[in-house]
Structure 1
Amino acid sequence: MELHGISDYEFVSIRDWLFKQTGISLTPAKKTLVCSRLHKRLRALSLSSYGDYFSLLSSNRDQDEAQTAIDLLTTNETYFFREAEHFQLLGELAQKARRDQPFRVWSAACSSGEEVYTIAMTLAEHERRGAGPAWEVRGSDVSARVLDMARSAHYPMDRATDIPPALLKRYCLSGTGPYHDTLLVERSLREKIEFAQINLIEPLPELVPFDAIFLRNVLIYFDPPVKRKVVGQLLSRLTGDGVLFVSMAESLHGLFDKLVSVAPGAYRFDRRR
């Protein structure tokens, strides 16, 4: 069956469907990405056009396929210790935190999990040295597929380039035999992490307050009203002195009057103002 490229109308239909499901707004520059990521699904389902695929998605007849489409269209690149300055600040926050309760961190769009395990290594290292409290980490994403990858904690070794050698040795296991050139995050870290599928544009589940929330390299995909809604929900889940981390290339300036910048890409919500 011959499959032609995606038309402008088909792209807009799928783009609008994705926005309704996730709040992510794709620009016309993403047309090629949509085409390439969904191409195999059309082949697998013996569909002759992207319009037919959109009809399937919008009919709500196949929720598994809808989840597959969301997984394919929302996966973003991530890696260990991305924007390392944020983890230095996280360690400083942990050092100042109370010792009579866990220090809680949420990676709210964790993708395949590298950010979650970077947070865990940072906090475990401070706790090991007596410079930080016990800790808990939650990771969430809208994509079920990347959450499965995150739960496995198993990565190609070439993804470990930015992990400091001492932490790589202490918190990761090197694969052997058929698992050569891979790493597995150590069990003691994995056991202190929870993963959950959460769509940030929907009402959030009941969650304990967090001392830090990471939402990096995500807001660029939201239009201003969705961005305001998502950030507002996350701020409501922070402790009084909690910090919201976004990408160092992103700014929340003008989004909320009470946001105070504490470092590039890091904000507190001043409830006193």
Structure 2
Amino acid sequence: MEQAWPMSSELRPLPLNDSEFRRLQQLMTDASGMILAPNKRLLAAGRLLTRLRHYRLDSYADYLHLLDQQMNLKEQRLVVDLLTTHETYFFREHPHFDYLGEWLSAQKGPLKLWSAACSSGEEPYSLAMVAQEHARDGDWSVLASDLSPSMLEKARDGLYDMTQAKYFPQGWLHRHCLGDSGEPNGRFQVQAALRERVSLREINIVQPLPDDLGLFDVIFLRNVLMYFTHDEKQRTVQRLVNQLRPGGLLFIGHAESIHGFDVPLRLLNPSVYKRL
């Protein structure tokens, strides 16, 4: 009979020692470009304990050895997913969407927009709604990418709690989503016609990008650079700027900075840049 995980181990969290935590930090940086801060050690230990139970391992050292094996790239992606914060909501940092709407209304299609760290889909669907409302001729598309398969799966469903609707512009929930807006504890779903305009794709932006992406008119790279090392941040920005057509826009998070980066960008508005 296969031995079950001892009850005492289920109740007693295992600590990550200094060496194990350093190895985990390096894995996170190598796999995603993200920094696992020292104050996240306890959180990391708690979230990874379920993976030790899954493999019936006795220590984090054993689990990290498993992660080092080339065949376990899927498990490595799962670790990044477990240790990454996925905080997002519709129309987050709404001045960006106001600015984008005005800009789109002055452009001619076709227009390509990219949400480069889309999480569970709120950002790319917000982009799609803005494009639907403001693009002059309706010839637009949105690419939504993330390194997390589980987040992409949530985005594919386009199904959200009604609490996510509180920042929608007036009337947009009714025009672009299905659901009972009178039920605060209910759910709504982005309309199928809008979801079909958003392509979902697994892309790790700290790695070389796929050759078939082409150039974009708008790239949203928001609230992810803050988790990168300085060098990785600069490489990632350069990598995405190379995918931006001249005159196109790059949006970063309001709390982020790319000051001093050697990239062909000009600041137009707070955290909004134009590709030269």
Q: Normalising by the residue count of structure 1, what TM-score does the alignment of the two structures yield? A: 0.90
Q: Name the counterpart of 1:38.
A: 48
Q: Name the counterpart of 1:157.
A: 162
RMSD: 1.7
Gap runs ≥5 in structure 2: 1-5
Is 1:74 equivalent to 2:84 in the alignment?
yes
> More displaced, 83-92 or 61-70?
61-70
Tell me, in whole angstroms, the C-alpha distance in 2 between the residues paired with 1:229 and 1:88.
29
Q: Name the counterpart of 1:120.
A: 128
Letter paired with 1:88: D
Q: Deviations over 1:211-250 (max 9, x none)?
A: 1100101111111211111100111111110111000111
Q: Name the counterpart of 1:256.
A: 262
Question: Offset at 1:32?
Answer: 2.4
Is 1:238 equivalent to 2:244 in the alignment?
yes
Question: Offset at 1:21?
Answer: 1.3
Gap runs ≥5 in structure 1: none
Instruction: Give 2:57's match in structure 1, choosing from 32, 47, 57.
Output: 47
Tell me, in whole angstroms, the C-alpha distance in 1 between the residues paired with 2:196 and 2:123.
16
Contact 1:141 1:197 in 2 (8 A): yes
Tell me, in whole angstroms, the C-alpha distance in 1 between the residues paired with 2:85 and 2:157.
17
Q: Name the counterpart of 1:225.
A: 231
Contact 2:14 2:45 in 1 (8 A): no
The secondary structure found in structure 1 opposite 2:231 is helix
Q: Name the counterpart of 2:197.
A: 192
Pick closer, same or farther for the CA change 1:75–1:60 going to 2, 3 Å.
farther
The secondary structure found in structure 2 opposite 1:229 is helix
Pick closer, same or farther for the CA change 1:254–1:132 going to 2, 3 Å.
farther
Letter paired with 2:165: A
Question: Offset at 1:165?
Answer: 3.9
Letter paired with 1:263: N
Instruction: Give 1:96's match in structure 2, choosing from 96, 102, 106.
Output: 106
Question: Offset at 1:162?
Answer: 1.2
> More displaced, 155-164 or 133-142?
155-164
Contact 2:31 2:76 in 1 (8 A): no
Letter paired with 1:42: L
Tell me, in whole angstroms, the C-alpha distance in 1 between the residues paired with 2:264 and 2:133.
33
Contact 2:28 2:80 in 1 (8 A): yes
The secondary structure found in structure 2 opposite 1:96 is coil
The secondary structure found in structure 2 opposite 1:74 is coil
Tell me, in whole angstroms, the C-alpha distance in 2 between the residues paired with 1:42 and 1:183.
36
Tell me, in whole angstroms, the C-alpha distance in 2 between the residues paired with 1:66 and 1:252.
29
Q: Deviations over 1:83-120 (max 9, x none)?
A: 0000011111211111xx32110000001110010001
Question: Offset at 1:258?
Answer: 3.4
Contact 1:112 1:149 in 2 (8 A): yes
Letter paired with 1:53: Y
Letter paired with 1:12: R
Pick closer, same or farther for the CA change 1:156–1:30 going to 2, 3 Å.
same
Q: Name the counterpart of 1:86.
A: 96
Q: Normalising by the residue count of structure 2, what TM-score does the alignment of the two structures yield? A: 0.89
Q: Name the counterpart of 2:178.
A: 173
> More displaced, 40-49 or 142-151?
40-49
Tell me, in whole angstroms, the C-alpha distance in 1 between the residues paired with 2:201 and 2:126.
18
Tell me, in whole angstroms, the C-alpha distance in 2 between the residues paired with 1:195 and 1:175.
26
Question: Offset at 1:132?
Answer: 5.5
Is 1:182 equivalent to 2:190 in the alignment?
no
- How many residues were matched structurally? 262
Q: Name the counterpart of 2:27.
A: 17
Instruction: Give 2:113's match in structure 1, choosing from 102, 105, 111.
Output: 105
Question: Offset at 1:45?
Answer: 2.1
The secondary structure found in structure 2 opposite 1:106 is strand
